Amino acid sequence: MSLISTLARMEAVESGRAQPLATVRHRRLSARPLVLVPLTTAGEAGAPLGALVGTDPEEPRLLVVPQPRDRDLRFAFLADLAEEILPYVDSFTDVVEAAERNEVDPETGKKVKVEVELCADAPQLIVPSRAGIEYVRLLGRSTRFRRTAEQDPETPFPAPPRVPLLGRWLTHFGERARVPGSSLLLSATDLLNRHWATGQSSLEDQHLGALLAWIAPCDGEPGAEAALRAEVGRDAQGQLLCPPAGPATDPAFDNKLLAPAIERYDRARQSLGAAEDGESADTGLAELHGAERELRRLIASQLKPTWHSVWRAIELLRELPEGARVEDRWTRDRWSFTGHRDRIAAGEPPQPRRDDAVTAASKLAAREQAQGQLEAQEALDDPLVMAGRRLAGEAFSAEVVEVTMAWTESKRPAPRPLVTVRTDDRPHLAEKVKVYRSLDGKPQAAEFVRYEEDGSPLLRILDRMGRSREPAEGSVPEKGERIVWTLFEHDQRVGPKLPDPEETPWTHGGPPRADAVEPPDAVTPEDLL
């Protein structure tokens, strides 16, 4: 943790309230996000228990699996989930704008501009916590290789029609969430933690209830007390006042409430199955519905508080103005969304279980580039973030005290003005170190020449002054101007081009097998999904 955010945490301890870590919002918040609060069954990978899902804070859709060990009920849950999520996703696929993309012409090998569609907006999924993001990935993995009856009439346990498609979208959201600065899939805790420092540790900050207790306590209660209640407070029945934000449930809930309710449901199903006449069938059915209603009530009781917390988090974040460069990153999210839309439309197979060598390398390169971009953009958008970079010696705010015109010694002299600046910051400057400032949103480069006798840095401006001998109007810093210079670049360089997967070299195992088709997961009598 940087010293400046440590300090913010300590101020939060002292004041009992969270302290700002940002002055603008660094992530896109969609006007119409889809919130998903999932719960899973303890000890079973990918056996969902229930979920609240929807775009309207007042009207979540409650989905429940009354008996998580029942394959049909799980499939029914996933089909319902698909019916909530896919129409939402689809609502963004058709609204497009024209855009250009560089492509290599396969015949000439030259780069050409191609007119393509870009979705005008993109869907946004918000889950409570990081574990929720992980769960979205798990759901994606567990469903995208399922076979429907249409795909494979022989499959013994066909999945409902739209479930594999849901899996592909969830997988895409899950992968995109690994890209720094992306906003297609976000967690409420990450969002809040990016923008506020609480008076507790980052581990404790993963608890959504405790986190909100610091950021938005009721009645000005001190954060530590409110957070403690959120963490461990229990009612007379021993149930948590603030249930976990999922997907894991509280063991006390499982053992005391859920297990008996599931047992009752199982018994009701059994007696319904064993019913021999209409009357006992009616009684059995009523008992089954009663048991199911009770289960829905119980699971809703665990989901509702988290649902409200997620929307509360969204509300809090909406109060912050959006950072200027957030739009730029969101555009990349839109490209990512559009690209996946096109892959599905083109009938490409689901994402493989594991990336091949080239895909892995290109994802890593893209993410490293996004990370550099994010760090630079957040600092440029937000003086509080820039303050941290200044403290670290990676940027400095300086007043221009003198400007001396100078030119290159070439045939057509270009301007290379020398600028003396005064700063109280302590940047890690050394000879030839490049520094950058933002000029009309574009970076202008300078290099450090030397420290003057009084310790003032002398900089030489290198670019963005036009083509003529005299620098363009406003392109040279003026005396008295206060400018923030960064030692980091504002844009990221494009990395080396990777080979096509079919040209994977011998050092990396050669090309992946072209005939390798991802098989569906093996189905066993006891499998869980």
Partner 1 sequence: MPRPLDARALAALAANPGCKRRAVLDGAGVDKSALAAKLGSPAPFGQSQFAIVRGNSFEAKVKADGGRELLRLIGVEEPGEVSVPDLAAAGPEGRVARTALALREATGAGAWTLLDHPLLALEVAGSPVHLEPDAVVVHPDGGWTVVEIKSFPMIDGSADAAKVGAAARQAAVYVLALERVAARTEGARVAQSVLLVCPKDFSNVPTASMVDVRKQRSVTRRQLARLTRIDEIARALPEGISFDVVERTAEELAAAVECVPHQYAPECLAACELAFHCRARAREADAVEALGRSVRGELGGLTTVGAVLAAARGEEGDPEDPAVAALRRARALREEALAGVAACR
Partner 2 sequence: MTVFDPSAEAARATSAILADTLRGTARGVVVDSPPGAGKSTLVVRAALELAAAGRPLMVVAQTNAQVDDLVLRLAEKEPDLEVGRLHSNDSDPYDKALDDLANVRKSAKAGELTGLPVVLSTAAKWGHVKNVEPWAHAIVDEAYQMRSDALLTVAGLFERALFVGDPGQLDPFSVVGAEQWAGLTYDPSASAVSTLLAHNPELPQHRLPVSWRLPATAAPLVSDAFYPYTPFRSGTGHGDRRLSFGVPSDGSGPDRVLDEAAESGWGLLELPARHTPRTDPEAVGAIALVVRRLLDRGGAAVSERSETPVPLTPDRIAVGTAHRDQAAAVRAALADVGVTGVTVDTANRLQGREYDVTVVLHPLSGRPDATAFHLETGRLCVLASRHRHACVVVCRAGVAELLDEHPSTDPVRLGVAVSFPDGWEANHAVLSHLEEHRVTWAP
**Residues near partner 1, by CB under 8 A:** 1, 3-4, 6-11, 13-14, 20, 23, 41-46, 138, 141-142, 199-204, 224, 231-232, 249-252, 254-255, 259, 353-354, 383-384, 386-388, 390-391, 426, 521-522, 524, 526-529
Answer yes or no whether residue 371 interacts with partner 2 by CB under 8 A: yes
Q: Which is nearer to partner 1, 137 or 460 (CB)?
A: 137
Q: Work out how close the CB of 438 gets to partner 1 at its nearest, in angstroms, rounded to a whole number.
A: 16
* Per-residue interface string for the shown chain with partner 2, residues 487-506, x marking contact by CB under 8 A: --------xxxxx---xxxx
Count residues near partner 2 (CB under 8 A). Answer: 33
483 forms beta bridges with 398
Answer yes or no whether residue 442 interacts with partner 2 by CB under 8 A: no
Answer yes or no whether residue 355 interacts with partner 2 by CB under 8 A: yes
Answer yes or no whether residue 428 interacts with partner 2 by CB under 8 A: yes
Q: Which is nearer to partner 1, 194 or 464 (CB)?
A: 194
According to CB under 8 A, which one of 110, 432, 467, 513 is a site residue for partner 2?
Answer: 432
Continuous H helices in 34-124: 71-90
According to CB under 8 A, which one of 509, 518, 523, 527 is a site residue for partner 2?
Answer: 509
Q: Work out how close the CB of 355 gets to partner 2 at its nearest, in angstroms, rounded to a whole number.
A: 7
Structure-token match 């024209």, residue found: 98
Q: Work out how close the CB of 493 gets to partner 2 at its nearest, in angstroms, rounded to a whole number.
A: 9
Burial category of 421 from C-beta neighbours within 10 Å (exposed 0-12, middle 13-18, buried 19 and up): buried
What, of partner 2, partner 1, none, does residue 364 touch, CB below 5 to 8 Å by kind? partner 2
Query: Could you tell me which of 406, 415, 408 has the C-alpha nearest to residue 470?
Result: 415
74 forms beta bridges with none
Answer yes or no whether residue 435 interacts with partner 2 by CB under 8 A: no
How far is residue 423's CA from residue 176's CA, in Å, rounded to a whole number? 40
Strands 125-127 and 185-187: parallel
Q: Around 278, how many Cα atoms within 13 Å sit in the side-chain half-sphere? A: 0
Answer yes or no whether residue 513 interacts with partner 2 by CB under 8 A: no
Q: Which is nearer to partner 1, 20 or 339 (CB)?
A: 20
Would you tell me how many other CB atoms lie within 10 Å of the CB of residue 524? Answer: 7
Check if the beta carbon of residue 60 is closer than 8 Å to that of residue 236: no
How far is residue 430's CA from residue 416's CA, in Å, rounded to a whole number? 19
Q: Quick one: angle between helices 71-90 and 163-176, nearest 10?
A: 60
Query: Is the CA virtual torsion 331, 335, 21, 436 positive or negative?
Result: negative
Q: Which is nearer to partner 1, 334 or 389 (CB)?
A: 389
Answer yes or no whether residue 360 interacts with partner 2 by CB under 8 A: yes
Which residues, in sequence order, are CB contacts of 172 under 8 Å at separation 6+?
140, 184, 336, 340, 351
Distance of CA 298 to the CA centre of its chain: 30
Query: Which residues of the shown chain bind partner 2 in the complex (CB under 8 A)?
Result: 109, 178, 180, 354-358, 360-361, 364-365, 367-368, 370-372, 393, 428, 432, 495-499, 503-510
